[in-house]
Structure 1
Amino acid sequence: MRWPRPRRRPAPRARHHGTAAAPRILALIPAHNEAERIAAAIAALHRQDRPPHRIVVVADNCTDATAETARAGGAGVIASQNNRRKKAGALNQALGRLLPGLDDTDMVLVQDADTTLQPAFLASATAAMHGTVGAVGGIFYGEKGGGLLGALQRIEFHRYAREIARREFRADVLTGTATLFRVATLREVRQARLDGLIGGGTSYYSLASLTEDDEITKAVRTLGYRTVSPPGCGVVTEVMTSLPKLWHQRLRWQRGALENLRDYGWTPVTAPYIIRQGFMGLSVLFLALYLVFTGWMLARGKPEFTAFWIAIGLVFVAEKVVTARGAGWKSQLLAGTLAVELAYDMFQHAVYIRSLWDMARRREEHWRAT
């Protein structure tokens, strides 16, 4: 399949007659049995500096009080019909019903039900939606709690936020926690799928991907739009509270990212992602070699740590401490212990290796709720 060459597209012009009207914002919250969290997500939208014009909860195969709680919070509710395609399928059904009533210059916020937006999110996102920007993703932080595992995830998320800032707020992934799209962009993505220019089915979100947010990022960028995550677009999201939940979440993320790259192939858009995955593989190899060398030194009974190896260790510790600064001093102390974070890194590497192994065996990975 030949992928379209990305080209910088200008923002669509408003089709409103007479004086220009501010674009409307539709907020969509796909939710499966989220009665305990949906009220907080809706309340955060009402507290926005620039509130959405409409909030719709997409109740997907719910067996709890998600729909009733959403209506009590002031949101509309759309129930998915015979959906077996999880989040992507539910969103496609809702977008198919709601987008015909919106103008190209209007915007759609898609956010998770376990996420709350900081008050400046929509104002910051709409301000960033100019020129060739087609979508604006959130900068996610972990909620409180979760013990040691929650702390490690919060450190990880803060590091990711630092990396976004270092890249001048370019979004490599339009996070599923919260992303604001131009309606015109979503329509172009669907048309590109219909035309066979990109895969994933015939609707807005891909039905073939385990990570629909990662895939739609590549779709948007393949069509020539920029994706950004500017300051002010912070969100607070759930952290996994057990290793099995974290394992399934990260395995889905990693496997989905690798499969999306396989499906798109090498293109100007995917090349940086593929190179980054290659560096991830190298980090797995180098850490394994370092641990083997350290174990060999200890097994000899007389470890001889030279100044060179001590310096490498100190640099590693310093990097961990400095990059955890945004998560607070307790997180920095945790990072400084090195051993705990080293174990967390090894966990991430195990996820990477397992994803590659499953892909090589063509083992089907099932979407699991976490």
Structure 2
Amino acid sequence: MAGFRPDRWVPTEAEVSLVGRPTRGETRKEAWGPAFVRQSRDLTHEGLTLPGHTPDLRLSGPGRIVALVPAHDEEALIGETLQSLAAQTRPADEVVVVADRCTDRTAHISTAHGAKVVESVANTQAKAGALNQVLDELLPRLSDDDAVMIMDSDTSLSPEFIARAARRLHEQEPGLAPIGGVGAIFFGYPLRGLVCHLQDNEYVRYARELHRRRGRADVLTGTASLYPAQGLRHVHRARADNTLPRGDDVYDVQSLTEDNELTLALKHLGYRCVSPCACIVGTELMPTWSRLYYQRLRWQRGALDNLRAYGLTRVTLPYMCRQALTYLSVAFVPFFLTVLGYYTVTKGFPGVPWFWASVTGIAAFERVWAAKRGGWKALLLAAAIVPEVLFDQFLNVVYAKALIDVLTRTDATWEQTHGRKKRLRRLLITTCGLVLLLAGVVGLAFACIALGIAWHLIAVFVLSGAAAAAIRLSRLYPLGLLLSLPSGEPNHDEIPPWHQPGASTAARLASRTHG
């Protein structure tokens, strides 16, 4: 471990012997650049790696790997996704693009890149329905040693993703439950504009959090995850005999967030879900506030619906606790502003004692420090504080909207594509719900003021946040044993390579290897 640094990609000795030591400028760029750098590909026009590419099967584990790439009108991105699959040190044995109701050149481009294309048949159940159609045919012909990788069509894999994920999947530790899936650590690209940088800062912090948890995953993300074939078959059987609350196939078509629901299903069947810090992918960011709003609304609404379907269990308890903390944070801002406004009007501005300023400073410093592996732009954005505070309030509105939709049993959809009357009705319900929630928080604040405990509650919340920030800075995870299944994840020697090779390094490697 002494030769590795956790804040940038580190070449292997074999790669160093091929390309030589990176220059000082390249090292500086890798250390201070974005967390995920789109890799230069040196491939044939069919998307296959050039002669001289040799998979390292020693790292792959036993069995075959079949990659499924669900796609709906993805001609702009599917090429790079398939190129990243072809450039793996351990390529998939079979690549299948699941073309779902495509009206563009997705199927043609996929075929040109050497992938097998399977078109969905009369599918009305979005991504989950299309994948179920393919898995129904695929799983019966796979052995228990085989694995299925499912990845989004806007994802670019780091070169060793499959090799590392396959190795982790087949590492079974004595006394621990079997691994039901290996998920990705994801970063965003391309980084264009404020909204994209704000999202990427979130992803960088989440990657740091997973490292602190030693890879324990809350969700096997849809960006890219590797599942054992026997685990997926187990889920299918469990749905058929009603061991799981919903669904008939591998994926629950009623869920807005099918990857989150599949993670809960695997955990309820006794599997562990992990996201090793070495399994890195880049995923497309939402370029506009509108698209980001609908994406996050779907994520949060789907998470709440899944928890409601499963109910309170040992598996869902930590998820419900995190949701409770999320909504406590949502309520804190109007609660604090109400208390501060009341005392400012009645007794004058109370000021900010040095103690509370320093306590708040700990949390602010942790947010900046946690974003440092996103590059210098991420650091500046985090240090500015105000943009991220406003972004947090934007997310708070999304969380409140999702809760209102659940409480009012509003139809869950991927996008708001209803007619004008239905959109106006939903807007009215949302507005009334937000007003009622805000009124409830303000009323609670005045009740606490009357009881003389308002500032005490605020102090408890601030101190708890500062303590959590200090724990995150220490990289400890004291709740790991309490909130996870039987035992903690072993401490592997893998240190997260936060960066892919820069374009210049990749180009030199390709030229020396294939030249």
The alignment's C-alpha RMSD in Å is: 1.8
Q: Is the contact between residue 143 and residue 236 of structure 1 (CA under 8 Å) also seen in structure 2?
A: yes
CA drift of 1:210 comes to 0.5
- Does 215-224 or 192-201 show the bigger shift? 192-201
Greater RCO structure (CA 8 Å; 6+ sep): 2
Partner of 2:180: helix, strand, or coil? Answer: strand
The corresponding residue for 2:415 is 368
Q: Do the aligned residues in 1 keep the contact of 2:205 with 2:370 (CA within 8 Å)?
A: yes
State the 1:165 CA deviation. Answer: 0.7
The letter for the 1-side match of 2:413 is: H
Q: How does 1:157-176 map to 2 (within 5 A)?
A: 157-176=203-222
1:170 is matched by which residue type in structure 2? R
8 Å contact from structure 1 (residues 199, 206) kept in 2: no
Contact 1:142 1:238 in 2 (8 A): yes
Q: Counterpart of 2:286?
A: 240
User: For 1:180, what is the secondary structure of its paired residue?
Assistant: strand
Task: Quickly say closer, same or farther: Cα 1:47–1:295, change in 2 above 3 A.
Answer: farther
* The one of 363, 373, 377 aligned to 1:326: 373
Distance (whole Å) between structure 2 residues aligned to residue 277 and residue 297 of structure 1: 31
Q: Tell me what 1:348 maps to.
A: 395
Does the CA contact (< 8 Å) of 2:301 and 2:402 recur in 1? Answer: yes
Give the deviation of 1:105 after TM superposition: 1.3
**Deviation at residue 313 of structure 1 after TM alignment:** 3.4
Matched, 1:48 2:88: yes
Post-superposition offset of 1:231: 2.4
**Structure 1 residue corresponding to 2:360, chosen from 305, 310, 313:** 313
| 1:175 counterpart SS class | coil
1:173-188 map, 5 Å: 173-188=219-234
Q: Which amino acid aligns with 2:415?
A: R
* SS across alignment from 1:134: strand
Task: State the shift of 1:104 in Å.
Answer: 1.6
Preserved contact between residue 71 and residue 77 of structure 1 (Cα < 8 Å): yes
Q: 2:126 — aligned with what?
A: 86
Residue type at the aligned position of 1:39: G
**Which of 134, 140, 147 lines up with 1:100 in the alignment?**
140
8 Å CA contact retained: 1:124, 1:231: no
Letter in structure 1 aligned against 2:239: R
Could you tell me which of 116, 121, 125 is aligned with 2:156?
Answer: 116
- Report the secondary structure of 2:273's partner residue: strand
Residue segments in structure 1 that go unaligned for 5+ positions in a row:
1-20
Identify the match of residue 228 of structure 1 among 255, 271, 274: 274
Aligned residue number for residue 60 of structure 1:
100
Q: Classify 1:127/1:261 alpha carbon distance in 2 versus 1 (closer, same or farther; 3 Å).
A: same
Give SS of 2:246's match.
coil
1:16 aligned partner: none
- SS of 1:249's equivalent? helix
Q: Which runs of 5+ in 2 are unaligned?
A: 1-60, 173-177, 418-515
The Cα shift of 1:178 comes to 0.4
Seq. identity, %: 46
Whichever residue aligns with residue 100 of structure 1, its letter is: P
What is the alpha-carbon distance in structure 2 between the residues aligned to residue 53 and residue 369 of structure 1?
A: 39
Which is worse superposed, 168-177 or 124-133? 124-133
Q: How far off its partner does 1:292 sit?
A: 3.8
Q: Which residue of 46, 62, 68 corresponds with 1:22? A: 62
- Which amino acid is the alignment partner of residue 328 of structure 1? G
In terms of mean alpha carbon deviation, does 130-139 or 306-315 score higher? Answer: 306-315
Q: Which residue of 2 aligns with 1:214?
A: 260
Superposed displacement of residue 296, structure 1: 5.7
Residues of 1 paired with 2:122 and 2:100: CA distance?
9
Which of 319, 324, 329 does residue 278 from structure 1 map onto?
Answer: 324
2:406 is aligned to: 359
Q: Which moved more, 1:35-44 or 1:99-108?
A: 99-108
1:199 aligns with 2:257: no
Tell me the number of residue pairs that the alignment of Structure 1 and Structure 2 aligns: 350
- 1:144: Cα distance to partner? 2.2
For residues 61-84 of structure 1, give each alpha carbon's deviation from its aligned partner in whole angstroms, at most 9, with x where no partner exists: 000000000001110100000000
Change in Cα spacing, 1:105 to 1:148, as seen in structure 2 (3 Å) is same
How far residue 369 of structure 1 moved from its aligned partner, in angstroms, is 9.7
Between the aligned partners of 2:416 and 2:87, the Cα distance in structure 1 is 28
Relative distance call for 1:255 and 1:233 in structure 2 (3 A) is same
Q: Distance in 2 between matches of 1:87 and 1:210?
A: 10
